[in-house]
Every structure is written in structure tokens, then in C-alpha cells.
Amino acid sequence: LLEKLYTPNYRFVTVEVGMPQGHKSQKVREGCFHLGQKGTDALNLADNPNANVKMHPLAFQSRLLHAGPAFMDTIYHITCRDKNLIALQTEILGAAALNIAAILAVTGDAVKKGPEPAKSVFEGNSLKLLELVRCMRQGKLVSGEDLEQPVDMLVGVAYNPNAADINNETEKLLRKIEAGADFAETQPVHSKDAFNRCVDALAKYNITRERFPVIFGLMPIMSRKNGEFLNKFFSGIHVPDEVLAEFDRVSTKEDREKVAYEQSLELAMHFSKDGTNNYYII
């Protein structure tokens, strides 16, 4: 996985897959195999985004492995929202047992964003998760107890190009790199300006492609209503008014889809002009 991310001119594509709402997974698994046939390099398995209950990603990974040969790597999101230090380490061991190539270490959305009457845990944040992985890659639990063998997986982190203070966000990324992160994935980018300020900030802090791979998020907006919903309910996402306004000139579903794909392709082409060739499609 890391070799692909560091290979010059290699077009790396990972796609985030929403976990099934229930305990059946065939439809989503079939979608994953279609993605593989289209050239996807990896799948991102999200962990209850926006605090909505879905199938456990490790159970889904198990079903993927049983369904046939694994021809794609998987990147499993682990959040600190629902789990204490014991559970987080158990999750990492389970991911290693199921051949997960990488985890994405994130603090997680607050429970209040979802419909469940639950309490947040947040015994640590993404930096604490990085510490756990670093210990476990060295064959230790955070308590100092020895593991039978070290875990062998990469660890990614989040980076928000839509942050109000992009310098502060990039300084946080630097701390994550120093804590052992191998790569970053960004929240969706919905404007060339957001991408440009992100690239400028990475350059300012000497976070070059050769030093640390950043995979930029692309999320097609399917309608004005879709974009407004994301702006209201999803932290870290900002869809500009000019992007939403392009949907006001069309009326059919087919035309809205055409606008969505044109917007995403235009952004992808803008990424590539800068030499950025890593895409995280959501």
C-alpha cells in the first residue's frame, strides 16, 4: 500500500464504503468487487460515521475475505468515540488478524450527532491512537505487556483542507507525523481554492509528497439539497455556494448526476496539474 503511495505518477484510488445498515452484506460486497474491477486500489471501511449504527467493519472485512480472493487492501477507520484503551487495542489486534492493511486513526464524531441515546467515551484522541499503534508495532501493549508478535499495519490520519485556520490544522498534522503516521486522508475537497490553500500550507511546513503521502478526498455532490445537508450535519465538510448554484440550472436526476461528475472530474484534473495523484473517493 505504501509503495503505491510513494510511486511517482501512480494514480492511487481508495473508495470509502458505507457499511450495511443491518447484518446482511451481499449487496455492498458486490459493489466492492465492481470497484475492484474498475481499478480501485483500496477500500476505506468507515466506523459508524456521524454516530449512526452500522455493521462492524471488521465483520464486513471477514465477509469480504470469505467471498473470494482479496484483491484490494482495506483501510479501517478506528474512532475514539465508542471505545476505551482496552477496546481500541482489541480492535487493532482484530484488524491485524483479518489482514487489514492500514487503519485510519481518528478522534471521531460526537455521539450527539447521531440518533442513539449513548455516551461518548473519548479516553484518547487520534494522537493516543497513534501511540497505541506505535507500541503494538513494537510488540507491546500500552501497559507494557508483551504481545506474542508485533502487529504489521500502516496507520493513517485525517487532515482537513476546509479548516478555518489551515496553518493550525497543518501544525496538527505535523504532530501526527512525528507520532508515527504513515499517510493522511483529507475530508472532501469541494473547491480549487480549498485544495490550493491546502497545498500551500503543506509546502510551507515542508510536508512534501516525497516525505509524507496525502490522499485528497473527492465526494460528488448530487444536488443542492445534498450539499446543504452535508454542510449542516457533517463536520469538516464545506460545499461552497457556487458549487450548489450549478444545480439550479438543471431539473432532472440525470442532469444533476452529470453536473456532479463534471464537478468531481474537474477537481481531480486540478489535483493532477499540481502533481497530486492520490484520490480518496467518498
Q: For residue range 135-152, list pLDDT tens digits in order.
A: 999 999 999 999 999 999
Q: What is the pLDDT confidence band of residue 69, given thresholds at 50, 70 and 90?
A: low
Q: What is the pLDDT of residue 206?
A: 95
pLDDT digits (tens, 9 = 90+) for 89-101: 999 999 999 999 9
Ordered alpha helix ranges (H), 120-252: 126-137, 166-178, 192-204, 224-233, 241-245
**52 three-state secondary structure:** coil
- Alpha carbons 165 and 101: distance in angstroms, whole number: 32
- Of the chain, the percentage scoring pLDDT greater than 90 comes to 66
**pLDDT mean across residues, the chain:** 90
d(CA 262, CA 269): 10
The confidence band for 83, taking pLDDT boundaries of 50, 70 and 90, is confident
Q: Length of the chain, please? A: 282
Amino acid 96: pLDDT: 95
Residue 236 pLDDT exceeds 90:
no
What does the pLDDT average to over 35-51?
A: 86
- The whole-number average pLDDT for the span 16-32 is 88
Residue pair 12/72 in contact by the 8 Å Cβ criterion: no
Where residue 235 falls among pLDDT bands split at 50, 70, 90?
confident
Beta bridge partners of 215: 185
| Cα–Cα distance measured from residue 53 to residue 34, given in angstroms and rounded to the nearest whole number | 25
Residue 233 confidence (pLDDT): 84
Least-confidence region, from 71-75, 159-163, 191-195: 71-75
> Which of the pair, 148 or 20, is modelled with greater confidence?
148
In whole angstroms, how far apart are CA 262 and each of 9, 154, 256?
23, 33, 10
pLDDT digits (tens, 9 = 90+) for 115-137: 666 677 777 789 999 999 999 99
* pLDDT for 107: 84
Residue 111, pLDDT above cutoff 80? no
Q: Scanning the structure block, which residue is given the C-alpha cell 507491546?
A: 140
Higher per-residue confidence, 48 vs 39: 39
CA distance 131 to 148: 19
